[in-house]
Structure 1
């Protein structure tokens, strides 16, 4: 699932705006404001000299209003400086929050149904898996590692400009087997509990629905009968491809160090690690934790499991 960031490449836009408005703000504080103050002082001194001469000549002068107006006119910021100074702290705050704390995304497709629906607006925790530099996404502080069952946003390995969202099925060192639409993790079969069939929101089709109990986490998944576990023809040549063994309706992969195996909850309608391979740690964006709005169904608001 290729996620839609709110307002596209917002991080880069914010960064550019922050730099531009920040430069103007600092220039104004340390240079332009002092120049305006000096110009105002010079104008006031000239005005005071004229006023003193008029008084010396016996002419009564009420200079309080004029003097204040002259000072205000010289100290007034140019419009472009005023707007930059007003926007800079707001832009800087938004950039910090979005880069290091939370980032919003919109769900555009059905690969994570029933957990996430088309139109869900989600928040992603940017710090739980480590602090990363914005734009370049380089980790500088280690915090937590992704766990099986986490719903994780990451840069698509084949195109780093795209953000994907899937569920973590395998962590480094795990041996993952998928056969007859059932997972086995490190030799232990994952438990499945059948639920009522799920009616597709996009077309009048029912899907089989189960609770999948990964170690330490359980969540819902969908299967489409009679689709195969995966389409062998769609498997690509990806890095560490030799860590996987594929057959007609089964595969086994051992997750390499520093990588993760990802799958969509809508198992038969998801392009994921079964086809394009593992997700390196350097590609991680964050953990999806909240649906904060769905304008078509406000009842969707709540924590992501």
Structure 2
């Protein structure tokens, strides 16, 4: 007689039911997807033309969620930031005027950073001046030739404003058709969700056809 030998258990008795295996696999996949979406990268779709021609309606893009710091879910706080937003960055942020709305009713906007903390930003006859110097970029577009006076709002003429600490002044590249910091003020850094960095898909709803020349293009 041999002592200490354990009896083997038939595999049929140890194998999990198929529904349990699939359920566990789906649960793990869902958790991983949530972690990636919350802390690493998130997909967004462009619904308006305020960033033309950099971003068109129907462009789908990915946003780096960790470069400005890992977000703490359901708050506007971040930690372990690689760097702060810089002038020229295209950012996705929670619209500041939605702060009093329930969390799931708040809207996300996408604009370009124009002014950083301490900058003095001014608009004169459509042209942007930062700290008294003209700031012109190749991405900006002016699709209306006429210049409207200050009595019609700050679109083409805006008095100098200083960007407060921890905030940013943003504008759309389609300057004549963008609702941005000229109208509603600054973006607190805590509202910024990430840096838009690549277009992974683009769909032209008028032609019902993909824009293949835009797919995989970096956002500059």
TM-score, length-scaled by structure 2: 0.82
Which stretch has the larger CA shift, 252-261 or 83-92? 83-92
CA distance, structure 2, for counterparts of residue 142 and residue 131 of structure 1: 7
* Structure 1 residues 151 and 230, CA gap change in structure 2 (3 angstroms): farther
Corresponding residue of 2:187: 279
CA distance, structure 2, for counterparts of residue 283 and residue 86 of structure 1: 34
Could you report, residue by residue, the CA deviation over 1:238-285 in whole angstroms, capped at 9, with x for unpaired residues? Answer: xxxxxxxx7993321100011000000000100000111100011010
* Structure 1 residues 176 and 96, CA gap change in structure 2 (3 angstroms): same
CA shift at 1:141, angstroms? 1.8
CA distance, structure 2, for counterparts of residue 225 and residue 189 of structure 1: 19
The gaps in structure 2 that reach 5 residues or longer are 1-8, 100-105, 204-209
* Structure 1 residues 248 and 132, CA gap change in structure 2 (3 angstroms): closer
> 2:65, 2:195 within 8 Å by CA — same for their partners in 1?
yes
Secondary structure of the residue aligned to 2:92 is strand
CA shift at 1:92, angstroms? 2.0
Are 1:169 and 2:114 an aligned pair?
Answer: yes
* Structure 1 residues 78 and 229, CA gap change in structure 2 (3 angstroms): farther
* Structure 1 residues 162 and 230, CA gap change in structure 2 (3 angstroms): farther
* Structure 1 residues 84 and 159, CA gap change in structure 2 (3 angstroms): same
> 2:126, 2:156 within 8 Å by CA — same for their partners in 1?
no
Structure number, greater radius of gyration? 1
Corresponding residue of 1:186: 131
Corresponding residue of 1:270: 178
TM-score, length-scaled by structure 1: 0.60
Corresponding residue of 2:77: 138
Considering only aligned residues, what root-mean-square deviation do their CA atoms show, in Å? 2.4
CA shift at 1:228, angstroms? 2.4
The gaps in structure 1 that reach 5 residues or longer are 1-66, 192-211, 213-218, 234-245
